């Protein structure tokens, strides 16, 4: 029962992160590019990312805490072995956390600095970098989920 509750929390955190990335990549950013000039668009994205990245930080903490509990509980129960898919999820999950750290520290900070200094080309370059790395995390997230479901 406790295991199932922890797994539910793990799922909630994964859905918030994955769903947020899908919304950003497929709806928000294309809509902002279609309707807004670069300056109001950059200001909008700064407000959006500030809120979304705070949510992602919470999701990362929750995913890591719950994921490592699920992993070690089952590892002990199975006498020291876990399915390959779980190992793949662990590795891809850690990669996603590191990439998120890079998005925040390298991409988002650079973006904010550029915005504060009204350096629009630099802001656009940093936004492009954030967009690319979010794509990468989105793909890795689905690979991790496919691995945990499909690899024995």
Among the residue ranges 31-39, 47-55, 66-74, 122-130, the one whose residues contact ligand HEM (CB under 6 A): 66-74
Strands in 51-103 per DSSP E: none
Q: Does 20 bind ligand HEM (CB under 6 A)?
A: no
Q: Does 103 bind ligand HEM (CB under 6 A)?
A: no
Burial 46-58 (b: 16+ CB within 10 A, else e): bebbeebbeebee
- Which is closer to ligand HEM, CB of 10 or CB of 110? 10
Q: Does 17 bind ligand HEM (CB under 6 A)?
A: yes
| Residue 137 · residue 107 · CB < 8 Å | no
∠ CA 103-16-111, rounded to 5°: 25
Q: Does 24 bind ligand HEM (CB under 6 A)?
A: no
Among 24, 46, 52, 93, binds ligand HEM (CB under 6 A): 93
Among 42, 45, 89, 126, binds ligand HEM (CB under 6 A): 89
> Which tokens belong to 140?
């890795």
Among 46, 49, 56, 86, binds ligand HEM (CB under 6 A): 86
């Amino acid at each position: 029962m406790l295991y199932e509750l922890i797994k539910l929390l793990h799922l909630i955190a994964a859905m918030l992160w994955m769903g947020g990335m899908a919304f950003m990549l497929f709806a928000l950013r294309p809509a902002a590019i279609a309707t807004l000039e670069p300056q109001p668009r950059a200001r909008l994205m700064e407000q959006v990312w500030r809120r979304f990245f705070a949510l992602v930080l919470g999701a990362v903490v929750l995913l890591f805490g719950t994921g490592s509990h699920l992993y070690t509980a089952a590892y002990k129960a199975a006498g020291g072995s876990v399915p390959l898919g779980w190992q793949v999820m662990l590795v891809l999950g850690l990669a996603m956390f590191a990439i998120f750290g890079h998005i925040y520290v390298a991409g988002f900070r650079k973006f904010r600095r550029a915005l504060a200094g009204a350096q629009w080309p630099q802001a656009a370059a940093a936004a492009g970098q954030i967009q690319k790395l979010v794509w990468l995390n989105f793909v890795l997230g689905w690979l991790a989920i496919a691995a945990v479901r499909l690899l024995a």
